[in-house]
Chain A
Amino acid sequence: MVKFTAEELRRIMDLKHNIRNMSVIAHVDHGKSTLTDSLVAAAGIIAQEVAGDVRMTDTRADEAERGITIKSTGISLYYEMTAESLKSFKGERVGNEYLINLIDSPGHVDFSSEVTAALRITDGALVVVDCVEGVCVQTETVLRQALGERIRPVLTVNKMDRCFLELQVEGEEAYQTFQRVIENANVIMATYEDPLLGDVQVYPEKGTVAFSAGLHGWAFTLTNFAKMYASKFGVDESKMMERLWGENFFDPATKKWTSKNTGTPTCKRGFVQFCYEPIKQIIKACINDQKDKLWPMLSKLGVVMKNDEKELVGKALMKRVMQTWLPASTALLEMMIFHLPSPSKAQRYRVENLYEGPLDDQYANAIRNCDPDGPLMLYVSKMIPASDKGRFFAFGRVFAGKVSTGLKVRIMGPNYVPGQKKDLYVKSVQRTVIWMGKKQESVEDVPCGNTVALVGLDQFITKNATLTNEKEVDAHPIRAMKFSVSPVVRVAVSCKVASDLPKLVEGLKRLAKSDPMVVCTIEESGEHIVAGAGELHLEICLKDLQEDFMGGAEISVSDPVVSFRETVLEKSSRTVMSKSPNKHNRLYMEARPLEDGLAEAIDDGRIGPRDDPKVRSKILSEEFGWDKDLAKKIWCFGPETTGPNMVVDMCKGVQYLNEIKDSVVAGFQWASKEGALAEENMRGICFEVCDVVLHADAIHRGGGQVIPTARRVIYASQLTAKPRLLEPVYLVEIQAPEQALGGIYGVLNQKRGHVFEEMQRPGTPLYNIKAYLPVVESFGFSGTLRAATSGQAFPQCVFDHWDMMSSDPLDPTTQAAALVADIRKRKGLKIQMTPLSDFEDKL
């Protein structure tokens, strides 16, 4: 490890061309953290005084226990390149020192919000892929996220040791596997064509793919080998690199390179001949303890072992030898320095993604040029609990300007609208802090291009925010992060001792702050609800809540609760009518389901209340077959004015109709939030106002008369249109060997899941299974699955869609009706649904 003082570290931070901010992303269990560890061990920066007694990997106890990463952790690495190796580096640089801010992120899908937060503040990503398992679901998800943020990726094919030790595959077969892994990754990356970012695909021959064994701490890129062989063959390095990959074969007998396998037994692919085989031989020699063979080979490679290391045997020897020969840190750090962009380079094209305001104002320019003298633009992407309970560091990245201790900053929250005072604070930064390993060191200021932690702002930042100088009143905020998962699993928490309620409230506030994905709300019944992305996520959150944020006060947690949606199957069987309380006004309505895909389009924001009516009617008429005129008569969306239900005016020539529009909409917002079945949100229903009879006196058709009536008639039309419940459904991806398939199918069937894709991974004994699983049934799913497959199957669940439950909730014998009764009971409502006759009136 590199011993540093804060001043020295601070000095490098000014060299914006010599900084690399990058995150490590991968599928769960592909070895991110292990690989990171081997980097940290070699190049991690720690404070001088604590050198020796710090263990970087030692973070949360539960992380170690479960063997998964839960929170993303940032570590700074220092690497000094040799002048020689930098010769071929074309980019800008100042000196040979490099600072690499690396963020290790969790791989489990439940924590992908952490990945999102990490990606925002980095410019490059090291994508780790298990060479045997290949590109998995989560690899794909995070890769897409990274590319969406314009993060340039490099790839490492990890767990190489498995090839040599566990599977003992031959060179050519191994090559094919690696080739497939890289191709799969490239397939995803190729879909993101971006002229500014350039070609983001990775190529081993260009040095953007590394091969690593995180567990054993070694790695290489083709550059390493190319350097070694270039002089031998008398060609330059880049030429050599090309030969070491792809369809290039070498026959040692003829000493000729060909582009096809000549068929002679000695003719082998360049990669196999010059990279795979040598490693294989060395490993073999180590494992078989053939030291007489080993030492000459090593001396040929120029690897010098210490005397005490020579005494090692077996795996320990192999590890030591490989680490000395091909140290992971050198290969990976060089790859990052060469191929990942510096902040100043990356911000040039990322500014479009980042900045919400006009791209030619001074703030955009400052970000674009990574200008340390420009106005401050800082994005806080997450809040990190500090050691003193209840306080948080605001962790983020300086995109422009400098942030310094004592600086007065404008805090623009996620709801800030330029020109308004909403969600806006001006406060001063108490301290600016950088991480020196586990230790935080205060520094005077932090310039752009770096990550920073701020003290003293936690009371004003919920989860993320944009900071700028106090004076910069016309700065726009940096775009909010978009998360790929949503909090669908909810539990009710309550304290065992009633007097602990203030503690619970305080704890929930802190929990909401500490995790970007968790949502703490309160139900109509007064229960506190914690919602998370999945079971595991919730489990961790609740543990944090109780132990860290509530000081160990006891809480009780309900069974997980899933929220449903209410929809309709058909058009209302008749036009229903409701009368106002004074009987002088009558509203006639019908309900019908929205066209397939329309609710999703509203969810995605393709259609919404702020659309240009012309554009909206174009989409509606072309994609959903609406009448053009009708599309202009949409009164509103709901609930919350943006939800996937709408009211459409179908009346003709009704007097005073415009007067009651607001009242009808108010009634609709209310009703669509609490449907008639179980007071769940409505989804995918279109309410058509068919006719309206109003009293001639304005005073008799006011809000008091119309709002409750609109609500009643909406309920009546919902109930006459074959109401149905929608339940949330997970997309489950499972990777497992063939013998585990039986168990997986068994569990899925038992849990109402159904498999829609089963595919063998080429070149592996593994199967990839995709299935839909109702969220309600998912609780305890991974446990059951593990038990049924003796631990071989590991599911990843992501919310996918809403699925209609076929049974009729109005028929008391059905499953849907039982479900409705359950929900109503939980919410403290009358178990019996309000009958249609209470909502509908007769003439």
Chain B
Amino acid sequence: MDLESKYEISRTADFIRSNNFVRVALQFPDELLKVSTLVAKALKSELGRGVRLFVMADTAYGSCCVDEVSASHVDAECLIHYGHACMSPTTTLPAFFVFGKASIDVTDCVQSLHHCLSTSHKPILVLFGLEYAHALQNIKSVSAAALPFDGSSPMIQYAKVASSIIYPSGDSNGRNGCDGNGRNGCDGNGRNGCDGNGRNGCDSDGLNWHDIVVQSHGDNHKIPKSDGNSNLRTDTKYGLGGLKWCIPVDYKINEYLFFWIGSEDSAFSNFVLTFNNCEIVRYDAEERQLREDFSHQKKTLMRRYYLVEKAKDANIVGILVGTLAVAGYRKTINQMKELIEVSGKKSYILVMGRPNSAKLANFPECDIFVYVSCAQTALLDSKEFLAPVITPFEAVLAFSRGKEWTGEYMLEFRDLIVSSPVGVSHMDEARFSFIKGGYVEDVQFHESGCKQNEDSLALAEPAMKALSLSSQPSDYILFKGSARSGADFFAARSFQGLKMQYENPSVSSYIVGRSGRAAGYKDEKMQENCSA
């Protein structure tokens, strides 16, 4: 496949031209860096002079996310993202996505699809990795031709790519900024522009699909199409990771068989976890095989469940900033902070880029980390981590009393903001900890007296208290997670640095020191002068 069609040079150029952007950042993941110059060159020749292109690589967080910070270093007005994308909405920059085109054997894929259709009695919903979006039309027509009845049969439905352009939603306008209605106005034009390329079907109403992400599989969360312009039938709309689809309102989502075309990547696991009670098969386009066993994905879910239980026992929580671009991230971080404080735990916000075991182990006082990032990089789990890392959704489950794990799962924190007005109801009952196998009690921070301020004294006070009391043996604090704050932990450490305080500092009057530069202090110059 040639460069032009694979990287959609002309469409990209159209986008840039139509918006009159002059400084454009091109973001490549590591595996596509080798073609970056070729793409840039092709674009350049397409656009001609007047537009400056910047190639960016090596993002601080996941390469699936738009790296707004790097782009703003070059004052870019928009960003073209290449390769696998999580399609998380951006905060400040408009972004154009080029997914690339992976090769696929359409006939084989359709055969598998029909095989599924004949063996399963459920209607089928076809979903795909974004790199296979280009082949969808082809698959549709081949499938329709092969089937005896017409292609619009309710037995097979196809998801669509929501959009390949994302306009910023802004982080400042709070919760509304992420609501569906709040966004409709600002991106209507952009949406229509991209819909012109023939991918659109029933979405000409211009509703922003990104926001209609599944919140629950229950009936009460269905979002009926309210516009009612062309389509009188009410559909339930879903969207996830840049895909969107709608199913008739009289069907439930778990009555469908999901047919996923693509490799087993983070987009797929995001999907499997979100729709964990649905039947899913995956067609692997590279190996041309149908895979039906996702037991390890289920295991992942069980494992997450364990981590939630573990988080309930935590006293100190580290909030890891895993994105600086995804819309609403600051809101979420603040929300997490609030939630953690209300639940009587202590939180610290940590920015460390992509977490690894060494970085996390630098904060041994944290019993658990909450990783605020885009949906597809959110699942971080490694045996190497000293403390487990959970997602904001899991944090909400863990830190608000009375919330139960129901099997419902969410990875995108934006959904969390919409769906849960975070409230912590304090129940009077002791909490049962499955980690310890017994009832434990949560100590309420504000109960213990003064509400702590964010000033420097806040750290010093508990430190002094901890130093003077030290009623608990230090190994309980250090290794069994009974520290209540970082200061507690520090006070319990066997080594606290060289000379924390001067011993018996005696009062003495100040003396005037030397002034000037090291090359020649003022008094030295004077001496020189004297000697000369």
Residues of A within 8 A of B (CB): 413, 415, 417, 419-425, 459-463, 498-499, 501-502, 505, 508-509, 512-513, 519-528, 531, 580-582, 609-610, 636, 638, 640-641, 658-659, 661-663, 665-666, 669-670, 674, 698, 702-705, 707-708, 828-829
Contact = CB atoms under 8 A, between A and B. Distances in A.
Interface in B113-151: none
Interface string B474-486: 0110111000000
Contacts of A508: 432, 434
Contact of B299 (A525, A636, A662, A674): A525
Contact of B304 (A509, A526, A708): A526
Contacts of A417: 471
Given A509-B432, A703-B361, A526 B305 contact: yes
B251 interface: no
A704 B358 contact: yes
Nearest to A524: B306
B462 interface: no
Contact of B404 (A505, A521, A666): A505
A641 B430 contact: no
Contacts of B302: 525-527
Given A521-B437, A522-B309, A698-B497, 16 more contacts: A422-B443, A423-B441, A459-B430, A502-B406, A519-B437, A528-B434, A640-B480, A641-B479, A665-B475, A704-B361, A707-B361, A707-B386, A708-B357, A708-B361, A708-B386, A828-B303
B428 A459 contact: yes
Contact of A525 (B306, B357, B384): B306
B505 interface: no
> Which bucket holds chain B's interface residue count?
35 or more
B379 to A, nearest CB: 14
Given A460-B430, A666-B364, A704-B358, A636 B475 contact: yes
B362 interface: yes
A666 B299 contact: no
Interface in B229-254: none
Contacts of B443: 421-422
Contacts of A505: 404-405, 434
A522 B405 CA distance: 14
B437 A425 contact: no
Interface in B408-443: 428-430, 432, 434-441, 443
B277 A502 contact: no
B41 interface: no
B438 A499 contact: no
Contact of B406 (A422, A501, A638, A641): A501
A499 B407 CA distance: 7
Given A526-B306, A670-B386, A609 B434 contact: no
Nearest to B430: A460
B438 A666 contact: no
Contacts of A526: 299, 301-306
Contact of A499 (B296, B303, B406): B406
A426 B353 CA distance: 46
B6 interface: no
A201 to B, nearest CB: 39
Contacts of A702: 362
B43 to A, nearest CB: 39
A755 B441 CA distance: 47
B305 to A, nearest CB: 4
B428 to A, nearest CB: 7
B306 A523 contact: yes
Contacts of B441: 413, 422-425
Contacts of A703: 361-364
B437 A520 contact: yes
Contacts of A582: 358
Contact of A459 (B299, B305, B356, B429): B429
Given A498-B277, A662-B495, A641 B358 contact: no
A183 B250 CA distance: 80
A425 B429 CA distance: 10
Nearest to B360: A704
B306 A666 contact: no
Contacts of A463: 438
B304 A658 contact: no
B358 A581 contact: yes
A546 B478 CA distance: 39
Task: Identify which of B358, B383, B407, B428 gathers the most chain A CB atoms within 10 Å of its CB.
Answer: B358
A698 B407 CA distance: 45
A609 B478 CA distance: 14
A467 B19 CA distance: 74
A683 B358 CA distance: 27
B438 A462 contact: yes
Contacts of B361: 663, 703-705, 707-708
B92 to A, nearest CB: 32
Given A422-B441, A610-B473, A704 B359 contact: yes
Contact of A522 (B360, B435, B471): B435
Task: Enumerate the 7 nearest inter-chain pairs by beta-carbon distance, A residue then B residue, closest first.
Answer: A526-B302, A704-B362, A462-B439, A522-B434, A526-B306, A459-B429, A707-B361
B479 to A, nearest CB: 4
